[in-house]
Amino acid sequence: MSNISADRKQIILALRDWRLKKSRQENVKLFMILQNKTIDAIAELNPQNREEFVQIKGLGERKYEKYGEEILQLLRSQENPVDLFSYQPPSPAPAFSEQTLIEKISKKVFTVSQYLDLVNDILRPLQLSVRGEISSVSYRKHLYFGLKDTKDESKLEALMWESDLKYCGIKPVEGMEVVIHGFMEIYKPMGKATFRAQSMELVGEGALKKAYDDLKRKLEAEGCFDPERKKPIPNFPVRLGVVTSKHGAVIHDLLTNLGKYGYKIQLYDTRVEGVLAIKELISALYYFRDKPIDLLLVIRGGGSLESLQAFNSEVLLRSVLDYPVPIIAGIGHDKDVPLFSMIADAAFSTPTAVAREINRSWDSAQEKLRYYEHALLHRYAPLLVGARHAIERALGQGERFYGKLCYQQERLNRTFEAILHRFLSQTEQRKQGLKHKETHLQERFLQDLSSIKVHIEHYAESLRKNNPERQLKLGYSIVFNKNKAISSISQLALKDQMKIRLADGEVLSTVEELNQRREDGKSEPEQDFETA
């Protein structure tokens, strides 16, 4: 924090000290009260009213409802800085018990500033409601007024910030009886005790009725209740935003009477009675403004004009104008209709009636579906009867055809089985015949093979006997002329070279003489031949 101004540093330190005390009181972590970056933004922007406060990132309407006034008061007190660390104020419950408080401060000497801070810390949590008659009124940006008791003239000085006053929808005047809600604090520069009023509401049916009538005439003159301004309720809504208290029978009645049409419901829990409810109702409208809903329901039970003051607030009513989705009001009433019901797009006196209106388009569609279903059945009944008869005839024909088909299939099965039996039988016979022929062929082959073997042996013996070489061993010889065996003398001529093969060799000779054998067996020599 070395680069920021001393004033901002003082504010940051004060906010962090306040946050520390709050975290101890509520027994939560520091960041759940305020984050450091949010504290820095507050110190930089230094908001002075509700509108400036809720615009800071990290704050908003809910933070304002819980801590807004304390933080704004803390920021205003920094105009006259005090030493916030010189003492630790007692924590509430049970630290605010008399005995604990006395033990805490009995031995300490306070400065005036410290003492007043201590008293303010003790008084601020005691937020109460006070009833009385306004005795004086002064506007100096904010409202300063006196409140006196109607019995003994006791007087209370009070202050209300301008931002709080506008939510009340009241223009305070002397003699007006009101109930204010807030806490007592001491203004340190003057040492003066003042009641810090955070809300104000009228007392007495006459005053409430007058304020009601005045505002009604004002809004009527502006055309706020004109039917042309109101948005139509959409058919078949599904996404519903509901603004009411989560406690009590109202929300139960709504949910019980909504049909089972798949509604998606988002509830914003708020007060629905008294001036304190105005801020929460406005916050709820602001919350749903950018949510994807089809309808916004604002509902509560019945009550008197006094209990319905919140729904006659001008600030609340103007927040309804130009709302992005239709609003249905379900605010019970006895005599005077709340102005909120008049400015809403549709209004009903009970949550049950609201549920019936939401169901209306769905119920109608469901009835139409039943009618169309009946009409279709009635219109097409003859055709359906005829179609039924045709189907029955077709089924009969189909059954007969199926019977025939089964019979034919059975016949085919029997025929197939007979053919298969014959085929298997013939196959077995053929197989046996082939086996018999195979055996016969094998036997015949062996016989023929044996016979061939005998013939071969006979031929071999004949060849062996007729082998020329065997004859040569018996003294015979073979004569060759020009490498051809000679079987006749006519194949030779004188001087021919002959080769004579004997059993153990060959002889070469020359023909010197040829003797032709005569028919009588005698030889006739032609020439002599010699052997070489």
Q: What is the 3-state secondary structure (H, E, C) of 212-272?
A: HHHHHHHHHHCCCCCHHHCCCCCCCCCEEEEEECCCCHHHHHHHHHCCCCCCEEEEEECCC
Residue 94's pLDDT is 41
pLDDT confidence band for 20 (50 / 70 / 90): confident
Domain boundary residue, one of 122, 149, 182: 122
In a domain, 347, yes or no: yes
Measure the CA–CA gap between 322 and 230, rounded to whole angstroms.
9
Owning domain of residue 69: 6-122
Residue 4 has pLDDT above 60, yes or no: no
Q: Verify that 179 and 278 share a domain, yes or no.
A: no
Residue 272's pLDDT is 86
> Three-class SS of residue 140?
strand
DSSP class of residue 290? Answer: T
Between residues 333 and 402, which one has the greater pLDDT? 402
| pTM as predicted | 0.49
In a domain, 531, yes or no: no
pLDDT confidence band for 10 (50 / 70 / 90): confident
DSSP state letters, 438-487: HHHHHHHHHHHHHHHHHHHHHHHHHHHHT-HHHHHHTT--EEEETTEE--
Q: Report the pLDDT averaged over residues 260-272.
A: 90
In a domain, 400, yes or no: no
**pLDDT, tens digit, 9 for 90 and up, residues 439-449:** 989 999 999 89
pLDDT confidence band for 236 (50 / 70 / 90): very high
Between residues 503 and 270, which one has the greater pLDDT? 270
Residue 81's pLDDT is 35
Measure the CA–CA gap between 452 and 445, rounded to whole angstroms.
10
Cα dihedral value 231, 235, 240, 241, nearest 10: 0
Side chain identity, residue 442: Q
Between residues 230 and 171, which one has the greater pLDDT? 230
Domain boundary residue, one of 364, 398, 430: 364
Q: Where is average pLDDT lowest: 314-318, 331-335, 421-425?
A: 331-335
Residue 248's pLDDT is 74
Residue 89 has pLDDT above 70, yes or no: no
Nearest to 343 by CA among 230, 465, 485, 212: 230
> Three-class SS of residue 161?
coil
**pLDDT, tens digit, 9 for 90 and up, residues 47-72:** 888 878 888 888 888 888 888 888 88
Q: Verify that 276 and 255 share a domain, yes or no.
A: yes
Q: For residue 460, how far is the Cα from the chain centroid?
A: 106
Q: Verify that 262 and 334 share a domain, yes or no.
A: yes
Q: Verify that 351 and 488 share a domain, yes or no.
A: no
In a domain, 440, yes or no: no
Helix (H) or strand (E) holding 355: helix 351-379
- Contact call for residues 181 and 195 (beta carbons, < 8 A): no
Q: Report the pLDDT averaged over residues 131-145.
A: 88
Angle between helix 351-379 and helix 381-465 axes, rounded to 10 deg: 70
**Counting runs of H as helices and runs of E as strands, what totals does the chain give?**
17, 16
Q: Verify that 117 and 153 share a domain, yes or no.
A: no
For β-strands 239-244 and 295-300, DSSP reports them as: parallel
Residue 233's pLDDT is 92
Nearest to 178 by CA among 153, 152, 217, 149: 149
In a domain, 155, yes or no: yes
Q: Verify that 28 and 145 share a domain, yes or no.
A: no
Q: Verify that 97 and 187 share a domain, yes or no.
A: no
Q: Which is it for the CA torsion 189, 192, 195, 197, positive or negative?
A: negative
Q: Verify that 188 and 235 share a domain, yes or no.
A: no
Q: Verify that 226 and 349 share a domain, yes or no.
A: yes
> Three-class SS of residue 299?
strand
Q: Verify that 217 and 313 share a domain, yes or no.
A: yes
pLDDT confidence band for 525 (50 / 70 / 90): low
DSSP state letters, 55-83: TSTT--HHHIIIIIHHHHHHHHHTTS---
DSSP state letters, 197-210: EEEEEE-SHHHHHH
In a domain, 305, yes or no: yes
Percentage of residues of the chain with pLDDT beyond 70 = 88
Number of domains in the chain: 4
Residue 292's pLDDT is 93
**pLDDT, tens digit, 9 for 90 and up, residues 486-510:** 888 888 888 888 888 887 888 888 8
Measure the CA–CA gap between 484 and 496, rounded to whole angstroms.
13
Residue 526's pLDDT is 53
Domain boundary residue, one of 152, 175, 203: 203
| CA atoms in the 13 A half-sphere facing the CB of 156 | 25
Q: Report the pLDDT averaged over residues 6-35.
A: 79
pLDDT confidence band for 171 (50 / 70 / 90): confident
Q: Verify that 170 and 313 share a domain, yes or no.
A: no
- Contact call for residues 276 and 245 (beta carbons, < 8 A): no
CATH number at residue 180: 2.40.50.140
Convert 12-23 into a string of H (helix), E (strand) and C (coil). Answer: HHHHHHHHHHHH
Q: Report the pLDDT averaged over residues 448-473.
A: 84
Q: Report the pLDDT averaged over residues 511-527.
A: 68
Q: Verify that 62 and 136 share a domain, yes or no.
A: no
Residue 145 CA: distances (Å) to CA of 157, 175, 262, 422: 6, 11, 53, 126
Percentage of residues of the chain with pLDDT beyond 90 = 17
CATH number at residue 349: 3.40.50.2300
Residue 335 CA: distances (Å) to CA of 224, 311, 354: 21, 14, 19
Residue 5's pLDDT is 62
In a domain, 314, yes or no: yes
In sequence order, the β-bridge partners of residue 264 are 239
Residue 328's pLDDT is 94
CATH number at residue 80: 1.10.150.80
Average model confidence (pLDDT) across the chain = 82
In a domain, 243, yes or no: yes
